[in-house]
Chains A and B, each alone.
Chain A
């Protein structure tokens, strides 16, 4: 670990001074004179036409519907994709004649307080004509009960095929064939802070200022301008402190459009604050993948080919800007994981249903993909009678092949995947666990060991995104760096830091280049009025792109300061060098603060050919290739399964991860730990179930379980450091990684524990009831133990609806 405060130092988070004392400023803390609150009337039905909306006469003028917005020139949110066959869905911020999921906003009510606005909302009557509901993914894909978007031919956003090599020939000849049907449940993201937006029309500036809890202020500005039909210059988007995003705040939201329009139309500030029920019912849905996956291998377990049919339940609309294509596109391109094989086929379908739109959640499709491929790797190991890690070691891309272009043309930049697996197996003590399993547990539980490995493409840019044809393609990342008149540094980025610690890590980057004490480096972010354009903080891109851009801008400052410093030292520019905050030439040196003083306050001393841009620069950055960095990690977990109740306890958890060069190891560890906590939620607790009528059945935290502190075990992190050859410092993006592997590793551990009973879990969350049902439905292997009398399985996911029968209706 590096000493000091530059790249590699575990500098303490500067943002914690305010955040840990409860002195942050979130949208909920913003109070403006004359501000009113918005409550939304949301659809109680999953699919219905709106015949009429009745507003009590005394509340006319306080209730707004799509008719009002449309009259005001508001356009629906439209997130297209250029992928062939993608069907476009318009999402009006308030329902336009039809509702397509429970919780969809229908009317906006404005009151002096939120309670008063809710009082008004309770009096708005909507006359619905109910339509048949498509709540089930398979059914909506194959035998829809109705069309969700009337002008479509079916309920499919997109079908995407990826075919490489010749899977049919492999299928005919491979000695080993294993198949799994796997399901990852629909989830909700539940950041500590929900969404919130405060909008105000500021006459003096002729500007619509929208304070919103977002990860991407510049993209929200772009989307708002498109929907409101106004120039982007009219809008300033400010993200104040944001209490976690995880993807839920990486999009343009209907409520942002509504609030922005109302602020201008009503000429007073308005606020909408998402409450937890709105969040759980109507928003922030994610995941929901179904896999029908078959792997072919030789008798040693060498993977020969992979064949998959995948359904992603995208919900009712295509979210802006990522669209309803991102998740299936990712599935098709990253399902092969970190493995080296040649034959691959994937048919991935993005299905429209009467549920909230899914939006990319930390890990995006990687979590589902890892869940699928890592179960299949264990299945291969089982089929060839080898330890799961041995089969992985046979198939992982070896370090000598790096950089490596895989079967779907992903460019793995660097790393030693097998070594990470070996270290994880050693750290979890596989041999010791196997011995312990033979002996049995005193309390009667069964223990199991599970492994998972993934690689995470991060910080990928134009090369990857232009192909999607979505409303946003990241290009060069910009940063501004400025030396203040007293020699301090201001860094401005269009990213937004909501847990990524950028106020600390980007200051470390600036310190690395400029040598200025970190206490004199200020990082400004998340405000379109103060920062250069950025697509924002998503895709684990901030360390790579923001770090690179800040370094690029600071390097320009170094050049300019060196030239001025050389002049002050009466040296030729070529004879001076910049070092640790000083320009040195011969025996003389001049500090950056003096150079700043001269530029701002004594310009008569400047060289005649000084760069007129001064000590204030904007620079852009792209890595050497913007195919993305590939961080990776092996997760190893030991669980104890209570076979009576189905309860699962995590006994040990090891992560061996490689983030390349860490800007700040403490921050990397924090990201890994937080991600794993969410991954444990995916694995064991979290699910938004819907009934056949599309009613969400988990609308409070009593029903939607998230792991709390007691549910997160101690986690051991082992670092490997393989620099990325592509990036400024060798850093890689790792923000999502922690959330990718836990469902796979925990599932494999449970299945390892239950192997003697012949029970297999394939679906999340692996709740006690699902574990119980799997045991009850198990057919014990011949000669294996039995588990008492057979009982009828309940609540077990039915697998008779194989996707292999075809996804088309």
Chain B
């Protein structure tokens, strides 16, 4: 369990990093917190020729507020959000979710952008950022574009990132003062990846109500429905959502995803 031989660069600017990642003559991969990439390197599931460590780039570690948005640099760690002390227009969503990711040792190094780019459907941010209606800003040499978080994950370990592109920012819209939310995940033990995730967000002022069912076989299932928080839609509803997917015939998966959703709804409704 040792990685293949690779080169390592730690550029100080985004331009330099994008230039390295854009090289077509070699297989380069960005390295942020290394909490998923590290094990994959050791298992030789990925065998890059070059690792581009993006943690020395100041703008990727920044957190700022901007016209109704919170903008997280891709390299902001889960621990930074857990610990607070930064602006949080999400009414506590970020700190609560961050605090429940894996173990503190992982949270100290693991990053929001890295988690998204890794695209494990069971990862917390994959579901939560979709629920929040966040956007993912990706960059390559000579260009930037924005992808809605709910469309960023295309499948298990698959993203909308093109060749040479890097996640640079996550833009999270501020919630209204009377917005409510709920978050639940089903794990067998503390720190484990989720087996079923439910997120509910209701923001009446923005006429926004959304449920996300995550930790599924691909991108999270996003349901915009004003009535979502009024009542538990029932296990049959989840079963219908799963029809035709790899989880469609799995009564246990249907059950725990329904329970996660139900718990998220209950939390969002709680006074």
A interface residues with partner B (beta carbon < 8 Å) = 113-115, 118-119, 122, 275-278, 644-647, 685, 700, 702, 705, 707-708, 710-711, 767-769, 772-773, 776, 791-795
Contacts and interface: CB of A to CB of B under 8 A. Distances in A.
B255 to A, nearest CB: 6
Given A708-B189, A794-B250, A113 B2 contact: yes
A297 B202 CA distance: 61
18 contacts: A113-B2, A115-B5, A119-B4, A119-B5, A122-B44, A277-B1, A645-B186, A646-B252, A647-B186, A702-B193, A705-B192, A708-B189, A710-B189, A710-B191, A768-B252, A772-B255, A773-B252, A794-B250
Nearest to B258: A644
Interface string B213-249: 0000000000000000000000000000000000000
A114 B4 CA distance: 11
Contact of A645 (B1, B44, B191, B259): B259
B188 interface: yes
B3 interface: yes
Interface string B1-38: 11111000000000000000000000000000000000
A700 B38 CA distance: 13
Central interface residue in B188, B250, B259, by most chain A CB within 10 Å: B188
Closest 10 CB pairs of A and B: A115-B2, A710-B190, A275-B1, A791-B251, A769-B252, A772-B252, A114-B2, A644-B259, A118-B2, A711-B189
Nearest to A273: B1
B256 interface: yes
B87 interface: no
Contacts of B252: 646, 768-769, 772-773, 794-795
Given A685-B188, A708-B191, A794-B250, A644 B255 contact: yes
**Max chain B C-beta neighbours (<10 A), residue from A275, A769, A793:** A769
Contacts of A277: 1, 43
Nearest to A648: B188
A776 B251 contact: yes
Nearest to B256: A645
Given A118-B1, A645-B186, A700-B39, 9 more contacts: A118-B2, A118-B44, A644-B259, A646-B252, A705-B188, A710-B189, A711-B189, A711-B190, A769-B252
A446 to B, nearest CB: 16
Given A700-B39, A708-B190, A276 B1 contact: yes
A791 B255 contact: yes
B267 to A, nearest CB: 14
Nearest to A114: B2
B75 to A, nearest CB: 24
A787 B191 CA distance: 30
Contacts of A772: 251-252, 255
A378 B61 CA distance: 59
A705 B255 CA distance: 21
Given A113-B2, A773-B252, A768 B189 contact: no
Contacts of B250: 794
A792 B39 contact: no
Contacts of A773: 252
A292 B223 CA distance: 49
Interface residues of B, number: 21
A773 B251 CA distance: 9
B25 to A, nearest CB: 22
Interface string B88-107: 00000000000000000000
Contacts of A118: 1-2, 44
Interface in B68-84: none
A624 B51 CA distance: 66
B98 to A, nearest CB: 18
B3 A115 contact: yes
Given A113-B2, A114-B2, A119-B4, A685 B189 contact: yes
A80 to B, nearest CB: 35
Nearest to B196: A645
A700 B44 CA distance: 13
Contacts of B256: 645, 768
Contacts of B39: 700
B213 to A, nearest CB: 15
Contacts of A278: 1
Nearest to B187: A647
A707 B1 CA distance: 23
Nearest to A767: B188
A772 B253 CA distance: 11
A769 B195 CA distance: 11
A792 B255 CA distance: 12
Nearest to A646: B252
A743 B67 CA distance: 57
Interface string B147-187: 00000000000000000000000000000000000000010
Contacts of B190: 708, 710-711
Contacts of A711: 189-190
Contacts of A791: 251, 255
B42 to A, nearest CB: 8
Contacts of B193: 702
A712 to B, nearest CB: 11
B99 to A, nearest CB: 14
A299 B158 CA distance: 63
A795 B256 CA distance: 15
A718 B45 CA distance: 49
A691 B155 CA distance: 25
A793 B188 CA distance: 19
A644 B193 CA distance: 20
Given A115-B2, A115-B3, A277-B1, A794 B189 contact: no
Contacts of A647: 186, 188
Contacts of A685: 188-189
A685 B250 CA distance: 21
Contacts of B5: 115, 119
A705 B189 contact: yes
A142 B5 CA distance: 48
A705 B3 CA distance: 24
A458 to B, nearest CB: 31
Contact of B189 (A115, A707, A776): A707
Contact of A792 (B188, B192, B251, B259): B251
A119 B6 CA distance: 12
A507 B78 CA distance: 48
A138 to B, nearest CB: 25
Contacts of A776: 251
Contacts of B259: 644-645
Contacts of A645: 186, 255-256, 259
Contacts of B1: 118, 275-278
A682 to B, nearest CB: 14
Contacts of B3: 115
B264 to A, nearest CB: 14
Contacts of A702: 192-193
Contacts of B255: 644-645, 772, 791
B130 to A, nearest CB: 23
Contacts of B44: 118, 122
Contacts of B2: 113-115, 118
Contacts of A767: 188
A791 B191 CA distance: 30
Contacts of A708: 189-191
A768 B188 CA distance: 8
